[in-house]
Amino acid sequence: MMAEPRLIREIAKEIRNDWKTINPAANEYLKALEVSNYITDMYIYDTVSSCVLYFLSNAGTWRGDTARRIKTELKSL
């Protein structure tokens, strides 16, 4: 049986705690993730899934074990 995916806001909290110097472009999308629960939700006029993709495209400077693990988790959603 597969585990239930974590809430998007829980993932965002972990990102915020780990990434010390957040890319400003990624930060805008991280703000959207911080108030979202599920990948299928809407954030204003965007889907949360598109916010996740935009975040990932701007998170190239975030590195390390936590970054790799969370990026993989987000991509799997």
Assess contact for 11 and 70: CB atoms under 8 A.
yes
The rounded distance, in Å, linking the Cα atoms of 76 and 65 is 17
3 pLDDT higher than 80: no
Query: What confidence tens digit (pLDDT) does each residue in 19-76 have?
Result: 999 999 999 999 999 999 999 999 999 999 999 999 999 999 999 999 999 999 999 9
Q: Domain locations in the chain?
A: 29-77
pLDDT band at 2 (very low <50, low <70, confident <90, very high): low
